[in-house]
């Protein structure tokens, strides 16, 4: 047995090299021109729907506050906003660093807006104002992302949001 130790060590080393090669090649993602890579990511991440959902969540918060709903109702719409922002953030990074950076900031603002709104409830005017400001900034960043995606892919990205039961609004930028 003395001298046969190199065989198991060699097999382990070979497997380690194979795993590293697989990870390196697999981490490159889709190949092709930047427009094709971004378009593939946009479709796979369902970016238009994610932006539309967050925009709709923002409107839900506005409607709940305008209707002077109770704290429980405000907590619900604000928690949904924060949760949707976290979910959307999980699709990053994109193949374009500008899109990734801008979306990361927008999703963070949406999350912070949901958290501030939740903490404010129906009566915390300072936190509700912060939430509103963060939501508006996030929407400006979403518009930048939509313009960037269009400039790279040559195609507008539809975002569909539910504005009231049974109706939808679609935005193309």
* pLDDT tens-digit map of 118-149: 999 999 999 999 999 999 999 999 999 999 99
What is the gyration radius of the CA atoms in the chain, in angstroms? 22
Buried b (16+ CB within 10 A) or exposed e, 2-41: eeeeeeeeeeeeeeeeeeeeeeeeeeeeeeeeebebbbbb
Closest CA to 104 of 161, 59, 34, 50: 50
Give pLDDT, residue 5: 58
pLDDT less than 70: residues of the chain: 1-30, 161-173
Q: What's the pLDDT at 31?
A: 75
Distances (CA, A) of 114 to 34, 38, 58, 99, 126: 33, 28, 9, 22, 14
Which residue, among 76, 151, 141, has the nearest Cα to 107 in the 3D structure? 141
pLDDT at residue 100 in the model? 98
Cis status of the peptide bond prior to 19, with omega within 30 of 0: no
Q: How many CB atoms lie within 10 A of CB 68?
A: 9
The whole-angstrom separation of Cα 105 and Cα 25 is 29
Sequence ranges of the domains in the chain: 49-153
The predicted pLDDT at position 164 comes to 42
* pTM of the shown model: 0.77
**Selection from 161, 159, 149, 125 nearest residue 34 by Cα:** 149
Q: Residue 160's pLDDT is what?
A: 77
Token pair in block for residue 29: 């993602």
Record the tokens describing residue 161, joined without a space. 């949001």
């Amino acid at each position: 047995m003395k001298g046969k130790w190199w065989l198991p060590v060699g097999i382990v080393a070979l497997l380690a090299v194979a795993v590293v090669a697989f990870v390196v090649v697999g981490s490159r993602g889709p190949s092709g021109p930047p427009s094709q890579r971004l378009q593939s990511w946009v479709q796979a991440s369902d970016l238009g729907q994610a932006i539309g959902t967050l925009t709709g969540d923002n409107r839900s918060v506005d409607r709940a506050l305008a209707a002077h709903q109770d704290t429980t109702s405000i907590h619900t719409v604000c928690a949904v906003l924060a949760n949707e922002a976290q979910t959307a953030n999980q699709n990053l990074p994109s193949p374009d660093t500008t899109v990734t950076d801008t979306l990361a900031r927008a999703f963070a603002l949406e999350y912070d807006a949901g958290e501030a709104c939740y903490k404010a409830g129906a009566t915390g005017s300072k936190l509700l104002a912060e939430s509103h400001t963060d939501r508006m900034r996030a929407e400006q960043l979403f518009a930048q992302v939509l313009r960037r995606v269009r400039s790279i892919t040559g195609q507008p990205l539809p975002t569909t949001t539910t504005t009231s039961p049974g109706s939808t609004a679609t935005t193309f930028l």
